[in-house]
Amino acid sequence: MAPTTLAAPQDGPLEGIYPIDTGTAELERDPYSPTGWLLRINDVPSSHVDLADPGHLDFEYMRWIAALIRSRFVPSEIEAAGHKLRVLHLGGGACSMARWASDTYPNARQVVVELDGKLAALVRAWFDLPRAPLLRIRVGEAGAVLATLTDATRDLLIRDVFAGDQTPKDLTTLAFTAHAARVLDADGLYIVNCGDTPALENARREAATIGAVFKHVAIVADPTMLKGRRHGNVIIAGSNAPIPAGAGFIRELLGGGVPAQHWDDATVRNFARHSAAV
């Protein structure tokens, strides 16, 4: 049976297809979890949410991002310091990463920038997100919003913006990346989700661009992806402070359902050496 087209529910998620500003959002139950939901945007899997466990991340690439974040911002140390981690998400989807961050860093102050206003309203209705000031959703275009933000006001910036299976080109440029560096504090961390083909042209170009702006870069991805054997996600991180990669972090990457590989600064720069920053 085809999914039913619905208006926004008033109380929690309901399976169906919903009209949004940029097309359609389809919400379906996770067949393997009684509390899990999968969100598709224009037929492309976008997010997974477990209503009973905000710390659960179903998508592997999100678990890799989480590992990078915990390695840099050790939760016990952040809590002991009484620091309110300042997080900016460019690209919202179902706010899966924002829910995880709120669970991992309860005092975090987060802003999610989402282009689609109707989708943002649906996600608020479906998933009982933390309220302001813990989590605010700002409707707008990622680049335009980023350009308006004050210098050195974020500890962590995650870019996970897609139009179909590609990140808009204007969000991958030197100018955009420089704005990201400007908005981050001195030891802030910039993380991007780069979708790519086996040719890895996007990943090389993005690594070159991020490496041109930040002193330190790192990559986390499936080894098969990094060998150019499939389509997938490459997570690229940039910072002006060293990006930790201790033994516990490496074990975590290797222990997932899809084991991941970490590349340090020298390896990433060698990988991107023939690509020009744009």
pLDDT, tens digit, 9 for 90 and up, residues 132-172: 999 999 999 999 999 999 999 999 999 999 987 889 999 99
Q: What are phi and psi of 74, to 5 degrees?
A: -60, 120
Instruction: Give the pLDDT of residue 155.
Output: 98
Strand partners, 113: 90, 138
Instruction: Give the pLDDT of residue 1.
Output: 46
Residues of the chain with pLDDT under 70: 1-11
Per-domain boundaries in the chain: 58-271
CATH topology of domain 58-271: Rossmann fold (3.40.50)
Angle at 275 between CA 269 and CA 278, to 5 degrees: 110
Instruction: Give the pLDDT of residue 55.
Output: 96
pTM confidence score: 0.95
